[in-house]
Chains A and B, each alone.
Chain A
């Protein structure tokens, strides 16, 4: 997508949020473009829900601004914002049946009953719940309740749909199916999604843009590929996929020491002898003959993962490497570890 300011549907600028003395969000800046699928990804408690609630209008930033289409909505209550939310625990109205739940927003806005009927029916069909109109919501399975919640939000044709861990309560198989369905729906309807999850696989699979959060701060924003291939710091590297993360020292440009030796790398621009984090993806590690290697170790443990084997290698300096390879080395074998210079990622230590 092109960099175009008019394109920013939702924008948070330097948003801070505290509850009393507890600081929950620090300087969150983020924008969501029209038709984009943006995911807030981070461990539990990092502030994802709070960020989403600020967009929905349920919390007010302590500092900073939030705008829709370039206009500040700081003072707009939830019911005047053209976004709808799919809540973490669905929040369906237990006193209403499926039809009434989905029709709620349209009724509030005073639509004609013929129009309501048509739209609700169409929406129930879209989420594959046609025929469930009269069912009480409590008689539905978790997956079905989830669909009702999505239909109830989408029927209002919001400019953006906010989803807070919408698949969190579903079992793995259903979750995978719903990931695909939700993504298809988003593309087909051309609706902007702001999606919250702590599941990095889900985030990578569905999103156009991922914002990785930790401790109330955005660590990195980017396309899934960029976040995965070029993590900006050790936290992102560790949270997205598996990684070998070691402390090291940047000797000079293109030279880094870690694991008891010094290696060539492709990073530059650090202070001389700056302490850094060195990140190496398990699939980027080659196992070679121990005699030819500068890092030697012993295979401690092998797990078959379907496409590849995952091996733990106890290096001489005590670090346990995670290595993924389609060829298995048996437990107890002495091996050497080699990593190509461009696959060694050197990162600044996070302050503090």
Chain B
């Protein structure tokens, strides 16, 4: 590709990524005292106060739980999808993608009507003579919302990776004496790891930063990072603190992801043996 062809993308990158990033860093590292803007670490000192550390930890744990559940549901789903052929496969893919065409807010709101005190589940329980349960505004509801919204981000990359595995590799493993288990754990799973890495990334990142899901399904009871940042910007109006929290969470994500990629590339070199 000619260099000049890359200019529009560079311009895009500059306007929508680099400049905002610089602005965030600028706000995060400055504070106003006596009407003058000056460099200061104050915002970060505050971000590391226990109250906010708890919020970050909680976000991390919930996002991790959602990612793990997405993986446990998504891998088998992708596997089944990859082995299907023809019309059945298209139908399944279609069913998987249809909810994604719906607005994100709408999709999440729909769970309200299912989970709420007079929602579908509780009415069913009531009809069966069972006590009603508090399903909404719990951490479980938040994780459920994350899984529901981000599951297809797990399934699709794994499905793609699995589909790319040459059938002759599986036959070669069988030929060399491998039964179903060995074929899966020594050949199929290692070769699908790139898809798993993408899937985990694509679920974990939106899960750890989402504020719509905890606001709607968590009822804003337990604040998560996303809600905290949203609050600072939109309600409290403290852009500087909001920026500092964003920078911290960005740092955590970078560390978490690089640890994850390091483990993955070890396995890629035959670490499974």
Residues of A within 8 A of B (CB): 56-58, 77-79, 84-85, 87-89, 91-97, 100, 104-105, 107-109, 152-153, 156
Contacts and interface: CB of A to CB of B under 8 A. Distances in A.
A108 B181 CA distance: 11
A107 B175 CA distance: 13
A303 B227 CA distance: 84
Contact of B182 (A57, A92, A95, A108): A108
Contacts, number: 67
A335 to B, nearest CB: 53
Given A79-B178, A100-B270, A108-B182, A95 B172 contact: no
A89 B273 CA distance: 25
Contacts of A79: 174-179
Which size class do B's interface residues fall under? 20 to 34
Contact of A89 (B168, B175, B190, B268): B168
Contact of A78 (B168, B169, B171, B273): B171
A84 B270 CA distance: 23
Interface in B241-263: none
Interface string B107-143: 0000000000000000000000000000000000000
Given A100-B273, A107-B273, A91 B177 contact: no
B182 A91 contact: no
Contact of A58 (B169, B171, B179, B182): B171
13 contacts: A58-B174, A78-B171, A85-B171, A85-B172, A87-B171, A87-B172, A93-B169, A95-B190, A96-B270, A104-B178, A107-B273, A108-B176, A109-B177
B173 A97 contact: no
B166 interface: yes
A78 B178 CA distance: 9
A80 to B, nearest CB: 8
B186 interface: yes
B175 A84 contact: yes
Contacts of A95: 187, 190-191, 268, 270
Contacts of A107: 273
Contacts of A93: 169, 172-173, 187
Q: Which 7 A-B pairs have the closest CB atoms?
A: A105-B176, A91-B172, A91-B168, A78-B174, A95-B190, A108-B177, A85-B175
B185 to A, nearest CB: 11
